[in-house]
Amino acid sequence: MLSKFAPTLALLAASATVAVAAPTAAPAKPAGKPAASPAVPGNFAGADKDGRIRTQLVARESVVISSEINAKIARLPWKEGDSFRTGQALVTFDCSLFQAQLRKAEATQEAARKLLDTNRRLAELNSVGKLEVEQAEAKVKEAAAETAYMRTTVGKCVIPAPFSGRVAKRVASSYEFVTSGKPLLEIVDTGALELQMIVPSKWLARIKVGTPFTVQVDELGQSYPAQVIRIGARIDPVSQTISITGRITGNHPDLLPGMSGWAAF
């Protein structure tokens, strides 16, 4: 009778043997917190292995000089790279037409003033009414406004330099007729270059306004002393960085806007 179930009993015995022999998987150890990386400057993507930050020199002022009137350029002597001082004439326009219109407006104003004086004297003699005097007064105001307008227009015939610096780009030429809003020159203030950089926000614990640092300029291969003059007003929440502005101390004519290098705090 047992021989009839022998194959089945053998199969069950083999399965039990395999179940017993199967190793029991060890329980997984709870994952611990990853080791915190040390807060060193080199961990910042913008820093090198020595903790230096990439920085760039920028001009404190960079202005595109444009025409405010429709006129022909009489004189534009500046070339790219030329230096100029505050108040020097950058562009001079041919304003003979505007000057003639100014003289006409001044003559009209003078005639209106004389007419007003005459009407006032006649009004004292009851020869003219109050209306004639008021009309003469209005003519004087109108003529004065026209004179002021033409005087302002003539004042735009010369564009003085708003600061000392250099010409970065020239986009117009002498004897060229330009319209209002036409760009003429791009100028930069090279006397007070600033340094712009992005640093980790954690550095605010040790970087303040006035903090000194050193800048190595790639183009010249030299190092210059500098200090922080401004700190950004907002931290980027994604990258946890903030902008820092510095200034190289001393006068260095060899430095130009656009140069870059490494800042070491």
pLDDT score recorded for residue 49: 72
pLDDT score recorded for residue 44: 57
Phi first, then psi, for residue 188 (nearest 5°) are -135, 150
- Whole-angstrom distance, CA of residue 152 vs CA of residue 215: 47
Under the phi-then-psi rule, with left for phi > 0, alpha for psi from -120 to 50, and beta for the rest, what region is 33? Answer: beta
For the chain, counts of helices (H) and of strands (E)? 3, 14
- Whole-angstrom distance, CA of residue 215 vs CA of residue 217: 6
pLDDT score recorded for residue 27: 45
Query: What's the token pair of residue 78?
Result: 């500046």
Share of the chain above pLDDT 90, in %: 69
More confident residue, 44 or 150: 150
pLDDT tens readout for residues 169-190: 999 999 999 999 999 999 999 8
Q: What is the pTM of this model?
A: 0.68
Query: Average pLDDT in the 52-69 region?
Result: 93
The pLDDT of residue 141 is above 60: yes
Mean pLDDT of the chain: 84
**Tokens 């929440």 map to which residue?**
237
